[in-house]
Structure 1
Amino acid sequence: MANALMNRNDGMLDPFDRMVRNFWTPFETMTETLKTDINETDDQYQVKVDVPGIDKKDVKLAYRDNVLAIKVQKDSFVDHEDQKQNVVMNERHSGTLQRSYMLPNVAADKITATQADGVLTITLPKTAPAKNAGQIEIQ
């Protein structure tokens, strides 16, 4: 048992190893940043996306071929010119986050979106599905 504990290397004693592992963590979890809830009723879809600290001008929405696409550009302020050396850590970063959702039978010209308190709400009214959708009659 003691031998197994001594041979285990999980970076607890090596600060460089911990630093390298922690460096990549924000990039590994980046796809999880656009947390989304989608609710469906008979007449609409409602999509809520967490976008804390994002200005609405940095959010791009598109609906094409039954797919809602959300793209968010995040740019953070980085000040490396601290003359008093007061900055201990800076974890903010820049990047683009995007997600797509298949939401069929939507009236694209009636989609609305609002953003308040760090939550983007997109309402997609449904249209009646085409009769015999996907069915092709052979003549």
Structure 2
Amino acid sequence: MANEMMNRNDFGMFDPFARLAENFWAPLAETENVLKTDISETDDQYQVKVDVPGVDKKDVKLAYRDNVLSIKVQKDSFVDHGDQDQNIVMNERRYGSLQRQYTLPNVATDQIKAVQTDGVLTITLPKSKQATDNKIEIQ
């Protein structure tokens, strides 16, 4: 039945319209495999929110070094062992490794906090109290 649904136009895998649609959207396909992130800044801190749906917090690695926040996420494969008859019509969930880096200067590294709730990783990076503006007087 699944094969009948996929081939109902009798073109099968060689459907020229399907190929045209795939080629049209191809430039946007790369953005699908990126950690979607929002970063906000106040006088006191940066707040980073990253979408990590379906990822366990043990599979997320965070590091802050040389003013750069690094986020690495490892998604394991989505193998459906319950489908013994191979009746899967479509499989779009992805797996693999995703990584992003953000330059966020002047962070108090000992006060960074991260919480993962409902598929969103929220990282709070308090700014250090050191003077960040260096005024140079011309003589």
- Inter-CA distance 127–72: structure 2 relative to 1 (3 Å threshold): same
Provide, for residues 67-93 of structure 1, a one-character-per-residue CA deviation record: whole Å limited to 9, x for no partner: 000000011322478443421122223
For 1:127 and 1:28, the matched residues in 2 are separated by 36
Q: Which residue of 2 aligns with 1:63?
A: 64
Deviation at 1:110, TM superposition (A): 0.7
For 2:119 and 2:130, the matched residues in 1 are separated by 33
Provide, for residues 27-81 of structure 1, a one-character-per-residue CA deviation record: whole Å limited to 9, x for no partner: 623443x111111111111111111111100100000000000000011322478
Q: Are residues 1:29 and 2:31 paired?
A: yes
> After superposition, where does 1:78-89 map in structure 2 within 5 Å?
78-79=79-80, 82-89=83-90
What is the aligned length?
Answer: 122
Q: Are residues 1:14 and 2:20 paired?
A: no
Q: Which amino acid aligns with 1:29?
A: T
Q: Which residue of 1 aligns with 2:51?
A: 50
Q: Which amino acid aligns with 1:111?
A: I
For 1:96 and 1:37, the matched residues in 2 are separated by 20
For 2:104 and 2:135, the matched residues in 1 are separated by 16
Q: Which residue of 1 aligns with 2:74?
A: 73
Gapped regions of structure 1 (runs ≥ 5): 1-11
- Give the match's secondary structure for 2:110: helix
For 2:56 and 2:96, the matched residues in 1 are separated by 14
- Give the match's secondary structure for 1:53: coil
- Inter-CA distance 25–92: structure 2 relative to 1 (3 Å threshold): farther
Asked if the contact 2:59–2:73 (Cα under 8 Å) also holds between the matched residues in 1, the reply is: yes
Asked if the contact 1:37–1:49 (Cα under 8 Å) also holds between the matched residues in 2, the reply is: yes
Q: Which residue of 1 aligns with 2:109?
A: 108
Asked if the contact 2:39–2:48 (Cα under 8 Å) also holds between the matched residues in 1, the reply is: yes
Query: CA RMSD for the aligned pairs?
Result: 3.2
Deviation at 1:25, TM superposition (A): 8.1
Q: Does 113-122 or 124-133 show the bigger shift?
A: 124-133
TM-score by length of 2: 0.71
